[in-house]
Amino acid sequence: MQKTVISILCWFILTGSGCGNKSVSMNTNGPEVILPVIVSLETRNEVVSIISGHEGLIYTVTTKNGKILGQNLYEQELQVKLPNIYHFLKKSYADNGRTGAAWAGI
């Protein structure tokens, strides 16, 4: 089971499903800030976008049909609001096969 999850995560990372040119606009009660998306991971029912924030990683979780389950959550907020997604990410590991870990949980 875990090898399957790792293989799926590697495939998403290697195909560029969240790397490179993607970014997210965030309203921070001041000027709008553009932050880069590090990676987007898909579970069976959700899509988790992991964003590089100024104070750490930021998570946005949507259903596959686009319903927002949690937006711009830091790790502690994700753990409280969406514990199943938090535990999935905490246990996840992906390796691109060349330079080491591309994703190693929260």
Q: Over the stretch 30-71, which tens digit does the pLDDT of each residue have?
A: 567 788 888 888 888 999 999 988 888 999 999 999 999 999
Angle at 53 between CA 63 and CA 38, to 5 degrees: 60
Domain hosting residue 51, numbered range: 2-95
What's the alpha-carbon Rg for the chain, to the nearest Å? 14
Compare 24 and 78 and report the one with higher pLDDT: 78
104 within a domain of the structure (yes/no): no
105 within a domain of the structure (yes/no): no
103 within a domain of the structure (yes/no): no
In total, how many domains does the chain have? 1
45 within a domain of the structure (yes/no): yes
28 within a domain of the structure (yes/no): yes
Does the reported pTM lie above 0.75? Answer: no
Does 17 have pLDDT greater than 80?
Answer: no
| Stretch among 7-21, 33-47, 80-94 having the lowest mean pLDDT | 7-21
Would you place residue 25 in the very low, low, confident or very high pLDDT band (cuts 50, 70, 90)? low
6 within a domain of the structure (yes/no): yes
Measured distance CA(86)–CA(88) in Å, rounded: 5
Measured distance CA(103)–CA(26) in Å, rounded: 23
Measured distance CA(60)–CA(49) in Å, rounded: 5
**DSSP label at 106?**
-
Q: Which two tokens stand for residue 87?
A: 């535990």
